[in-house]
Structure 1
Amino acid sequence: MLPRFKAAAVHAAPVFLDRQATTEKAVAIMREAAKAGAELIAFPETYIPAFPVWAALWAPIDNHDLFVRMADQSVLADGPEVARLCAEARALGVTVSIGISERSPVSAGGLWNANLLIGEEGDVLVHHRKLVPTFYEKLVWSSGDGAGLKLAETRLGRVGCLICGENTNPLARFALMAQGEQVHVSSWPPMWPTRRPAGGGNFNNVVANRIRASAHCFEAKVFGIVTAGYMDAAMRACLIERDPDIADVIDRTPRAASFFVDPTGEMMGDVLQDDEGIAYAEIDLNRCVEPKQFHDVVGYYNRFDIFDLSVDRTRLTPATFREDVRATVPAEPHASRLAEISVGEDTFG
C-alpha cells in the first residue's frame, strides 16, 4: 500500500519585506498545521520576504528603493532563516515546501526566485531556482538552472515543485514526471496584475492556475498542492501609501486561490482565496495507480524511440577557479630530478 497523509496549503501573507518576522510567522504556521495533523506543509512563492508585485505596478525607474529593500531582506540558502525552518521541520517531523527570494553569496544584488523542499529530518532535500522569471519578474530575479529539477524522496512519497509560470513549461513538468513524481507542489503569487481596469481583460490567475494544476495532475496522475500568496491589509496599505492611484488596480485584480487537485484533475479538499489561513486535504497515493491504466506518459503511453529529453542539472556558478598546481610542487624533488638528469648526461654523453 502507498502512503496516506494530510497535506496543508498555506494561504498566507508574509510580514512584508521583513525576512526575520516572516520566518517566525512561517514557524508559527508550521506548528499550527502540524497540530492539525498535516505532514506535508506547502508555502507560497517567495513567501520570504514577499512577492515583488510592485514590479507590475510601476516603471523600473520608480522602483529602485524597493529592489534595494528586497535584496536586503532576501535570504541565503544556507542562512539563519533557512536553518530556523529546517530545525522546526525536524522538531515537528514534517516535510515543508517554501518559497524564498534567495540572495547570492557573491553578488549584493543577485537574487533568485527559489523553492526549498525540507525533509522531516531537517535537511534541504531539493533547492530549486526558477528557470525563467516571468514577465516583470525579470526586473528582480535572475534565471535559475536545472540543478533543482529533482524530487524529494520522503516517507510520504516523491514530492516535486515548480514555481508559478514554470507549471506552463511542459518539459520542466515532464522532467519531474519522468522521476516518478507522486505529489506536485505549485506555488504562486498573491495576485498578477497585467492591466489597468480601464484597459479591461486583466489576467485571471485563478482560472489559469486551476488549468495548469489540473493539466499536470491529469497528465502525471499525481496529487497537486496549489499554494498561493495572500495580500493582507498591511501589504496593500504599504503599496497604496506609495501611490494612492494604484488602489484601483490592486482592488480589481483577481486574488489567487490555494487548493488541491486529485490525479484525475478534479479539485478536492479546502479552497482559500479571500481569507488568510491554511487549507487541508487528505491524500491517498493509492489513487494514483488506476488512472495510469488510461495514460502513463512515463510508461507505456509514450514513444521513447521517437522522443528524447535530456536535462542538464548542473548548478551554474559565475566562474570556475583552477589553482596553479606548479605553486604546490616542492622545490627539493624538482632539484633532485635536475641532478639526476645531470648525472645521466655525464655518464652517457
Structure 2
Amino acid sequence: MPSNLPRFKAAACHTSSVFLDAAKSAEKACELIAEAARNGASLIAFPESFIPGFPVWTALQAPIMSHDFFRALSAQALLLDSPELTKIRMAAKRHGVVVSVGFTEGTIASLGCIWNSNLLIGEDGSILNHHRKLVPTFYEKLVWAPGDARGLRVVETPVGRVGMLICGENTNPLARYSLMAQGEQVHISTYPPIWPTRPSKEKGGYDLRKAIEIRAGAHSFEAKCFNIVSSACVDVGMRDALGQANPAMLDMMEGTPHAVSMILDPTGQIISDVLSESEGIAYADIDVAHCVEPKQFHDVVGYYNRFDVFSLTIDRSQRDPAVFVDAEEVADKSSQASHRETLKPTAFELERLVAN
C-alpha cells in the first residue's frame, strides 16, 4: 500500500444548467471550475445531465406533448470531440484539476439517439473515463438509450482512485460493487434537480433528497470511500421554459423535494456544507488514508466476503450497432492466411525437425 496517499480538496457543484443551451452551460462550467480551483479544489464535480440540462418535462406531461423538448435536447447533445466538451477539458488543464461533468451525448450513428453520460477529465485535459448510464430510470426511458459497461471503471488520478455512477445507478448494488472491487477511494455520484413521481398535491411522492442521503451514506459506508455528491437545482430559466410550454408543469413541480449536494467520508458522515435550495459549491478536505481504518470492520472486497460462494462478472465490451468488414480487410486477411499456410511446415518436415 502506498505510504503517501493523496490529500486534496474536493468541490461538489450544486448548480443549474443554462437550460437546453449546451454552449452557455459549458461556459458556466468553466467559470465554476475557475472559481473552485481558486478556492483550492483539485477535484470538481458537476451534476447529472448538466449539459444542457435535465429533461424534467418527461415526468410532468405526456410524451405526445413533448416532441419539441425532445428535439431541442437532441439538438444540444454532444459528441466527445464537441467544442463544448473541449472547452471544459481545456479549463481542467488550465487549472490543473480533475473534473467530472454530466452531459447528454449524441452519436453520428443515429440522429436522435442520445445517452445520459458522464466524463471524467484529467488535470492534463485528457478523458480518463467515459460512462453512459446503464439503465435510464422510469420516465427517462422516453429520452435516453441504455448504455453499456465500458465506463464501469475506477481510474488512477492524482486525487486517488476515482469511480462514478449516475443517479439511480447508485441504487444498483452490483454496479456499486464493481467499482468497490476495483479499489475505489473516491466516488462521484450525480443527480438531477428534482425527480417528480406524483402530482404535487398527492402524498407519497419520491423524496429525492432523502433518497440521495440514503444512497450516498450507504455507498460511503460499504465501500469505505469518500463520496462527492453533485446535484442540479431548478432555476428561473428552467421554470420559464417549462411554464411557457405548459403552465400545468409548474403546478406539478410545486412542492416536489429538491436534490442535495454534499461530500461524505468513508464512515458515511457528511463533511461539507449541504446545499439544496440555492446554487453554490460544497467543499471538503479529503485524506484518502482515512479509507484504511474502516476496512478493519468490513472490507466487502477483501476479508469480509466469501469468494467461494459469490462471484460477479462484468462485460465491459463496447456495444456498437453494427460491425462492418470492408472488402479490403477481407482480402488482406485472406492474403495473410495464405502466407501463413505457405510458411506452415509439412508433416514430414515436422517429423524431421523433431528427430534432429
TM-score (norm 2): 0.91
Aligned residues: 333
Helix, strand or coil at the partner of 1:48: coil
Letter in structure 2 aligned against 1:263: P
Partner SS for 2:273? strand
Match of 1:132 among 126, 135, 141: 135
Alpha-carbon separation, structure 2, partners of 1:326 and 1:233: 57
Which deviates further from its counterpart, 36-45 or 273-282?
Answer: 273-282
Select which of 208, 212, 233 maps to 1:209.
212
Label 1:209 to 1:117 Cα distance change in 2 as closer, same or farther (>3 A): same
Provide the secondary structure at the position in 2 that maps to 1:41.
strand
Aligned-residue offset at 1:81: 1.3
Which one of the candidate residues 50, 56, 59 is aligned to 2:59? 56
Give the Cα–Cα distance (whole angstroms) in 1 for the partners of residues 252 and 67 of structure 2: 21
Structure-2 separation of matches of 1:247 and 1:67: 18
**Aligned equivalent of 1:242, options 237, 240, 245:** 245
> Which residue of structure 2 aligns with residue 79 of structure 1?
82
Structure 1 gap segments, 5+ residues each: 338-349
| 1:5–1:39 contact (8 Å) kept in structure 2 | yes
Query: C-alpha separation between the residues in 1 aligned to 2:11 and 2:256?
Result: 25
Taking the aligned partners of 1:144 and 1:171, their CA distance within structure 2 comes to 15
Cα deviation for residue 327 of structure 1 reads 5.0
Structure 1 residue matching 2:201: 3-state secondary structure = helix
State the SS of the aligned residue for 2:305: coil
RMSD (Å) for aligned C-alpha atoms: 1.6
1:16 to 12, 19, 26: 19
Alignment of 1:94-243 (within 5 A): 94-243=97-246
Deviation at 1:105, TM superposition (A): 2.0
Equivalent residues of 2:13, 2:261 under 8 A apart: yes
> 4+ runs of 1 displaced by more than 3 Å?
325-330
CA contact (8 A) 1:117 1:152 kept: no
State whether residues 45 and 98 of structure 1, in contact with CA within 8 Å, keep that contact through their aligned partners in structure 2.
yes
Alignment deviations for residues 153-200 of structure 1 (CA, whole Å, 9 cap, x no partner): 101100110000000000000000000000000000000001012321
Letter in 1 for 2:16: A
Question: Structure 1: which amino acid aligns with 2:152?
Answer: L
Q: Could you tell me which residue of structure 1 aligns to residue 321 of structure 2?
A: 318
CA distance in 1, matches of 2:71, 2:248: 23
> What amino acid sits opposite 1:151 in the alignment?
V
**CA displacement 1:291-329 (0-9 Å, x = unmatched):** 000000011100111111111111110000112245568
| Contact 2:34–2:95 under 8 Å retained in 1 | yes
1:299-310 alignment to 2 at 5 Å?
299-310=302-313
Q: Once the 2 structures are TM-superposed, how far is the Cα of residue 77 of structure 1 from its aligned partner? A: 1.6
TM-score, normalised via structure 1 length: 0.93
Given that residues 41 and 97 in structure 1 are in contact (C-alpha distance below 8 angstroms), is that contact kept between their aligned partners in structure 2?
yes
Gaps of 5+ in 2: 343-356
